[in-house]
Chains A and B, each alone.
Chain A
Amino acid sequence: MNPTFPAIGFRRDVGRYGTPDLEKFDEFLSAEDFAICDQWELKYGARNGMVLVDSNLNCWRVTNVKRLRIRRPLWSYLLRLLVQQALYWVDQDLEPLEPITLDQLKDRIAASILSNPDDWRDDEAIAGEDGPPQDEQELLYAIVAGVRAADSVEGIVDFL
């Protein structure tokens, strides 16, 4: 059985400026999306141990990531290499886990959003650049409420 897409992948907050205790998530619209890694993800092993929740709420853990080849065209690869954002095709080994419910998925997403406000904050809205200043926490709660209102994984991805 293979994962169905869209899917959501939960990963550790890796990287030079990451906080290992925190959990972040990435969205994958298609199998192709999931099969591509940028050089930052490869360097810091962002995909290693990632828990993928697919559109049918089946779960997998990424146990191994193998870099295959560069993502063409070559000019785009070279440009991206220059700014340290080169893309590679990868082969990933997936280990099946127990499925989860939609509510469990929403809880996990909500916890990640609230513990990583920097990835979700709207600086201009908080500063009141285009209207009255808004409270950062209120904005985060609004995002979480949108997630909770979704009726499927696809709905969550569309909202986020």
Chain B
Amino acid sequence: MARMPQGQPRPVPDPEGERYDEMLRQERLERARAEAAEASRPPGSVGHPELLESLIPVWGSGREAVADFQEGVYTGAALNGALAASDLFLASSLAKGVAKGGFYVVNAGAKTSAKKASKTTPYSWDDKVRPWMGKQGYLAKGQAGHHWAIPQNGWGKNVPEWLKNQPWNIKPMPEGPVGAEMHGRMTGRYKGKPKFNALEQYIYGTPAWSKTATGAAVGHPAAAAKAESEKRR
């Protein structure tokens, strides 16, 4: 019968040993970092969100704003608060759009006389989509609709009508002659008045939700990056 040697250690090969030690080291490091972050958090602060959490609309920027406020960083709190408010505005714009239908769908079964078919198309702006948008409340009486992203004319002529003649691409202009003038000055001179410059076109010619979305698209990653860099410091 074979007997194990007693009191005499002998080398046993352990191929996983080094990896296991490294894993333990990393875990300790991670724990130490978390404890340091917890210790550095001012008392009473909810703490800043993690990178991915900070990208969640409303929640990420909202928590960041609360944390900034509790830590006395009022500029950060105001900016993050504005970002959260813009997320809410975007959500409400989306909800309102959906409530009104959101998308015009042609009635494929509806007949059109041969003569009329030669003049109009299923997604024709003047004939079909514009009256529908008025019926749904996207455009008030007397409001002109401006194709803000894809124009009706120019390069937009090559874009299919089912895509460009939809509520998302229509910015309602103010009611009455002011709206007609504003609409006219987007693309050229209008009754002796000059064409809008790029900034004016952006201000008057893009919907509020689009401006807000642009702000959110820039603001969220910027706020997340700022939060992450502060955490590393």
Contact = CB atoms under 8 A, between A and B. Distances in A.
Interface residues of A, number: 40
A122 B184 CA distance: 12
Given A119-B134, A122-B126, A128 B184 contact: yes
Nearest to B180: A126
| SS of B interface (majority) | loop
Contact of A87 (B107, B146, B184): B107
B144 interface: yes
A16 to B, nearest CB: 6
Nearest to B191: A133
Contacts of B153: 124, 129-130
Given A15-B135, A17-B137, A133-B191, A121 B111 contact: no
A76 B107 CA distance: 10
Q: Which of B126, B142, B151, B187 has the most CB of A within 10 A?
A: B126
A157 B116 contact: yes
Given A29-B113, A119-B131, A128 B101 contact: no
Interface stretch (A33-41, A57-65, A92-100, A104-112): A33-41
Contacts of B180: 126-127, 133, 136
Nearest to A126: B180
Contacts of A158: 113, 115-116
A40 B109 contact: no
B204 interface: no
Contacts of A123: 125-126, 130, 144-146, 183
A118 B139 CA distance: 9
Given A15-B135, A123-B145, A126-B180, A79 B105 contact: yes
Contact of B109 (A71, A79, A121, A130): A71
Nearest to A133: B184
A61 B126 CA distance: 29
A136 B180 CA distance: 9
Interface string B88-118: 0000000000001111110111111101100
Contact of A121 (B101, B104, B105, B144): B144
A9 interface: no
Contacts of B131: 118-119
Interface of A: 6, 15-19, 29-30, 32-33, 36, 38, 40, 71, 76, 79-80, 83-85, 87, 117-124, 126-130, 133, 136, 154, 157-158, 160
Given A118-B143, A123-B145, 12 more contacts: A15-B135, A30-B111, A36-B110, A118-B139, A119-B134, A123-B146, A126-B144, A127-B184, A128-B190, A129-B184, A133-B180, A158-B113
